[in-house]
Amino acid sequence: MPATPHLIPSLVQGAASAIQTHAEEVTALDRAIGDGDHVLNLQRGLDALAKQAESISALDWPAALQKIGMTLMSSVGGASGSLYGTLFIAMGKALKDREMNRPNLAEAFAQGVEAMKARGKADLGEKTMLDVLIPVADALRSAVERSLSVPQWVDEVSRAAEAGMESTRDMIATKGRASFLGERAIGHVDAGARSSQLMISAIAEVLAAKSR
């Protein structure tokens, strides 16, 4: 990872493009078992980040991540804003006075996911974005332990995100509006899991391209 967050504009653009490209698909998923406003809320947050991306990239990593978190909390509606904000703020705190490298990134992301779990009172297997983020955290740690190259760990993270997203299809939801549907939610991928997977895969692609 770069010592300074100069990649942030590219990362935000990558995530925003992925959501825009798949907006109709994710909205259809959300309308099937959710409130139908997930994409709109995400796009509002990504737009807010895009407007501040250059100034955020001038900060150090801990401050940049906390600024991203606060921006998402204030601009994204619903539970997603609170959860994503918690993720990035916790990551920023975890990286305070630490170098931004792959081991520290893996640990910071894991701490961010733990903070999300506590905030949302949710865990793996409940048909939420955590079914993507928890496997991604595990994949990051595993990649560090095995000393994988950047292209290898990027590929593993992308595959973990996709597998996690697909796993939500056969789950019964226990959180949000989908929880009221019981078994009727089975057969539908969770919209938050799909959007998380799309953004993680897009960010991984940017990082892979920059490492070549």
CA 174 to chain centre: 20
178's tokens? 């989908």
Using alpha carbons, select from 136, 158, 162 the residue that is nearest to residue 204.
158
Q: Which fold has domain 8-211?
A: 1.25.40
Average pLDDT over residues 174-199: 75
Token pair 């996690």: residue: 164
Spatial CB neighbours of 146, under 8 Å, sequence gap ≥ 6: none
pLDDT for position 212: 62
**Residue extents of the structural domains in the chain:** 8-211
Instruction: State pLDDT tens for residues 31-54.
Output: 886 778 899 999 999 999 999 999
User: Per-residue pLDDT for 56 more than 60?
Assistant: yes
User: Per-residue pLDDT for 180 more than 50?
Assistant: no
CB distance 195 to 39 below 8 Å: yes
User: Per-residue pLDDT for 123 more than 60?
Assistant: yes
Spatial CB neighbours of 178, under 8 Å, sequence gap ≥ 6: 33, 34, 127, 185, 188, 190
